[in-house]
A and B are shown apart, each in its own frame.
Chain A
Amino acid sequence: MTLALFPALAQAQSAPPRRVVAPPPPPPPRPTLPGLLTGLPSVNDATWDETAVRKVLQIFAYGGLARDSQITTWANMRPADAIRQMLTLGTTNNLLSPSEGTSFGDGTLTGVSAFLSGASSPIPDTDYRADFEQDAYNGSNFTWMYAATLRGLNPFRQKMGLFETNYHLAVHRRNLSSEQLFAYYDRVLSALAASSANGYETVMTTAALSAAVARQYGHDNARFNRSTGECYCNEDFAREYHQLFFGILALNEPDYHENTTIKNTAKALTDMNLYHTGLTPGTDPEPWAGQEVQYQSDQHPAGTLDILHNANSGTNAQQRFVNQAAAQINHPESLDTLPVMIVQVLADDNLSNAKKAALRQAWRSMARKDILLFLQAYAISTLFHDPLRVKYLNSFDRHLNIANKTALNNNEQYAEWPRTRWLNDFDQQRPFEPMHEVFGGQTGEETSKSAYLFQSNYDNATENGGRNTGYTLTRHGLTLTRNWASVVPATNGTYSVRSVAEWLWQRYVSDGRKNLGPLERAHLYALLATGNDLAYAYSTANPDRVITATDLTTDAALAAAVNGYAAGLMNLNSNVTADRTEANRRVGQAINFILATPFMLVQEGR
């Protein structure tokens, strides 16, 4: 950063200015394997290692809930075989998220909500159970966050659910009834899970014809007068159906798009009557809140409508949008835009033109657009595992990754309600309340540029660090006792500081320890070995000393002290409660340190 424009800051600045270091030359390209799709060659077996697996899980499954042994197994498989196990769209994935023996209803959002709030709920606190009811103020928010973090469900499915309903096909719960929101989420995900067989466009069609979208955009009252030809409708969703759902702006023919396609799409979105499941249309006292749609013809145009140069036919909205889908998904602009949009939102903030071209090639190569296959192919591709790939993590990514890596079983997750509260209260992000309304939720780029969110993350790891350094916690009728020995690998029954630090870094940062340099190690070793920060641990007389990596090589006494910390053993499995408690608290301190570094806020491809 140049400080010339910051006179006050320049004066206050005590640290030396940043040295600009030229990046190392890129390594020679590694041989690749055939990928799952044309244009997306797979990384080879050597690149497909434990770190590669963890990076996929961090981006696509909020870190996942797989055991270390399963991650090793996947790393030892051929990438194409492993990814088919890792990323699936069913309600459960027992390898990615091993069951603890609990079934969460049918695994849908509605089912999880009913289970967690019902009589069989594993949460003893009945007041807290009620928070998961469909009609509860935070019912959808809390249920979704738990669905993404409970062992026995499928975090990739929930990640895709958030992507579709909060980014790509976004609705805002403020505009909907809870019935509409839950139905929307579950039906969109059901269509997504079936889209390998039916085509991705069926997901957009499901959304376009939903009660939720009709309420969100206000065309649930749209009517067409067949006698006069007048349309009492609006152009809101008529525009966004093309733009947001399929990425079609028709910039090459704006007049046709504005005056024909959008006008006719608005006409197609008429005579849709809402009602509640189980009630008869027309008799529902609160039809506006209903999750079902009756598609009528009386106040709907007859004949064909010219939409994107397609002679769209149908006697009601449902028929028209089913019939229109193929023209949409195969439109040249959509073929160019959709694959890039999907990858940009999910995985890469630094897409080059060459990468975009490769994604488009892969997308076009599928006669039937299969988003699961596309993402599986991408996740093992050289594009995803490219060192130049950069993905800034948004608040959902960060909080849920932390939740999945910190809570060691479902009971701890149930007792960890502050994680969801913090996402709400500190980051001010809530599922189903996308920051940009129908234009989608908070992006990673936005998160990375927000000083407030940096501060929030930093303060939560320091000022509010007790949540990780506490040893026992009783909440919601459950008692949580930290026991990192249950997952940290021991060597000959012992836990060296060095190995614990390395394991923690890989668990949370998942970068193959690329950024675990001498300075990071020194701070972590000191915290784990002594419970104190490095400067104070080394010299109680100089607790505010700024220690650099250079100091660690030029100050022999300091280097020796750090080596001593690294070689120390931790009492994680001690029979002495006080020792075991202290060891677990130090692990919590080390976690807090890691969480407040920039390396928890962005993922590089390699």
Chain B
Amino acid sequence: MKRRNDTIASLNTRRDFLKRSLALGLIAGTGTLFDSRPVLAAGNQNVTQRVLANIFLGGGPDLRHAFVPPFSTVTTSVGYAYWKNKATSHSIANDNTSLNNRWTNDYFPVSSGGTQFGILKRCGWLKTMWDQGNVAFVSNVFGSDSRDHDQATTVMELGDTTAPKSAFGSGWGGRLAYAARGNVLAVSGYPRAFSYGPDPAAPNDLRRNSDQNVIIASNMRDYGLYDAPRGTGNVGRNERVARALRSYYAGKRATVPDNSPYARFFDTEEKLRNFGDQIDARLASFPEPEDLQTWIENSPYGWYLGMQLRNLHDALACSDIVNLRVASMEFNGWDSHDNQRNEIEDKLEALFGTGQGLDLLYRNLSASAQQNLVFVLDGEFGRQIRSNGGNGTDHGEGNYIILIGNPVNGGVYGTMFPQREVDVLAQPNRYYNPDIQGLTAIDHVFGRACDWVSAGSRSAVFPQFAGKPIETGLNLTGLLA
């Protein structure tokens, strides 16, 4: 139940409310509003089930910008072809000195199985995780061969490479949660198509879906409905309306057909009211991670990305209540047609930087949470490997899928820099759109993650995976432990 007094109700924003709550607690000498309950340190989540957290990077991220081949002066090498053709999207002069300086100054040199490459230094946390063996780059992955954002996004969200643009159906996250007999927590607020599970009446029909295992929470710390205190007779005018509505929804719900356009609102009200009380009670024992909260309030991406990360932190603390198996997140804004370096490097750092988003979440997770959580990051398509005239890049095809977490067997999977790209870049009239060629269908990569969450789920979530293309020689068996 959520009930606030008039003073708090008059505050303008959630941030004001939080600040005021803290001040009230300090004045009272308690240090917390929840002084009657034990206070656990952040990081004490007891997570017993495996959880997949998908972060969708909407807009078509140029991940090749962040994970590059070493610059080389050998003109037949990938390292030469890449840098020569991408100089303007890195906002540098197209001469060997400038290109080499960019490589040496701004990238960590790393290697995997003989492949040399660089990780953008602004992605410091990711480098640390890489060094610990907890990051996998799967190369040359594709969903759709379309360069249309909508079409390609639909394919990635539904996990169906054959889905047309207007396709409606279950998302691969929803199917995974259904197979694992758990729920998807959509922490981005607006649930992505990824989140919706199959229709239980026809679970094998990819073109039908259901919201029965989706829980939508854009702020776990403010999840619930304003209510009047129970058992109290004469209450204020606003509380009388709240009490009327509580009674109304409870009395009406049973008469609303499932196929009514109003049904989803009765469902939402029910989840907010019932989960809200339990989540409130649980989170009262879990203080907000201070460092993450500070980042939320100060980073330009705090209220967007940071809130989702804090929601995930809180959801893991409530994982038993919400039966959490899949988390759905998003971080959009990667459509870098112009000024790419400015457009995407701040975002890369917000995601992967030391002391930034994912780092701040990870350091506030318990050992059980870290052991049972894997991040899967993808976008709708990659970008072309030659800069355009606007210091950016245009839509392409293949891209990396990145998996992060303790259970990940780190490394590079697939050919990170195919020699074909040198040929492509050398023949501009033949290859109008120089792409990272898509060689491995998403089914194979996402499917392995599904099997890790719930053994045997891959065939339920990606029923066609066996017939989908996979890069010659690529073996993903050991991707996750």
A: residues with CB less than 8 A from B are 1-2, 5-9, 12-23, 217-219, 221-223, 231-236, 239, 243, 249, 251, 254, 258-259, 263, 350, 390, 392, 425, 435-437, 439, 442, 446, 448-452, 454-455, 458-459, 461-466, 469, 515, 519-520, 523, 526-527, 531-536, 540, 543-549, 551, 585, 589, 592-593, 596-599, 601-602, 604
Contact = CB atoms under 8 A, between A and B. Distances in A.
Interface in B113-165: 145-151, 165
Contact of B265 (A18, A233, A598): A598
Contact of A5 (B149, B183, B251, B252): B183
B241 A592 contact: yes
Nearest to B4: A463
Contact of B232 (A17, A390, A535, A543): A543
A519 B252 contact: yes
Contacts of A469: 237-238
B6 to A, nearest CB: 9
B360 to A, nearest CB: 22
9 contacts: A12-B277, A223-B389, A234-B389, A463-B238, A466-B238, A523-B244, A535-B243, A548-B254, A593-B241
Contacts of A597: 245, 248
Interface stretch (B24-32, B41-49, B266-274, B287-295): B266-274
B267 A462 contact: no
A589 B241 contact: yes
A602 B261 contact: yes
Contacts of A589: 237, 240-241
A533 B265 contact: no
Given A5-B181, A15-B250, A448-B264, A232 B389 contact: yes
| Nearest 9 A/B pairs, CB to CB | A232-B389, A218-B338, A598-B265, A533-B244, A236-B337, A463-B226, A452-B218, A234-B390, A451-B216
A37 B168 CA distance: 30
Nearest to A2: B212
Given A18-B266, A234-B388, A235-B337, 5 more contacts: A234-B389, A448-B264, A451-B216, A547-B251, A597-B245
A452 B190 CA distance: 8
Nearest to A219: B390
Contacts of A452: 189, 216-219
A217 B337 contact: yes
Contacts of A234: 337-338, 388-390, 392, 394
B241 A450 contact: no
B388 A235 contact: yes
B200 interface: yes
Contacts of A21: 255, 257
Contact of A463 (B9, B13, B149, B337): B9
B112 interface: no
Nearest to B180: A5
A585 B255 contact: no
B237 A531 contact: yes
Contacts of A599: 262
Contact of B147 (A258, A390, A458, A520): A258
Interface residues of B, number: 95
A388 B157 CA distance: 28
Contact of B395 (A233, A239, A531, A533): A239
A12 B277 CA distance: 10
A9 B320 CA distance: 11
A303 to B, nearest CB: 18
B38 interface: no
A222 B244 CA distance: 61
B433 A258 contact: yes
B61 interface: no
Given A233-B388, A463-B226, A454 B244 contact: no
Contacts of B314: none
Given A218-B390, A602-B262, A258 B190 contact: no
Given A6-B323, A9-B274, A462-B242, A450 B254 contact: no
A585 B390 CA distance: 59
Contacts of B335: 236, 437
Contacts of B248: 519-520, 523, 593, 597
B224 interface: yes
B12 interface: yes
A13 B271 CA distance: 10
B213 interface: yes
B182 interface: yes
B416 to A, nearest CB: 25
Contacts of A551: 251
A597 B388 CA distance: 51
B258 interface: yes
A207 to B, nearest CB: 18
B278 interface: yes
A390 B261 contact: yes
Contacts of B467: none
Nearest to B339: A218
Nearest to B183: A5
Interface string B192-226: 00000000100000000001110111110011111
A2 B223 CA distance: 21
Contacts of A540: 233-234
Contacts of B149: 439
Given A452-B218, A459-B226, A533-B247, A258 B432 contact: yes
A247 B232 CA distance: 58
B280 to A, nearest CB: 13
Nearest to B390: A234
A451 B261 contact: no
A536 B338 contact: no
Contacts of B254: 15-19, 548
A235 to B, nearest CB: 4
Nearest to A5: B213
Contacts of B225: 455, 458-459, 462
Contacts of A531: 237, 240
B191 interface: yes
A218 B337 contact: yes
Contacts of A249: 146, 148, 151, 165
Contacts of A593: 241, 244-245, 248
Contacts of B262: 515, 598-599, 601-602
A5 B323 contact: yes
B275 interface: yes
A232 B218 CA distance: 42
B23 interface: no
A101 B147 CA distance: 53
A12 B274 contact: yes
A159 to B, nearest CB: 21
B321 A8 contact: yes
A67 to B, nearest CB: 28
B389 to A, nearest CB: 3
Nearest to A603: B261
A254 B243 CA distance: 58
B9 A451 contact: no
A390 B259 CA distance: 12
Contacts of B224: 455
Contacts of A532: 240
A439 B145 CA distance: 20
Nearest to A12: B274
B252 A533 contact: no
Contacts of A526: 244
A465 B241 contact: yes
Contact of A18 (B9, B246, B258): B258
B231 interface: yes
B253 interface: yes
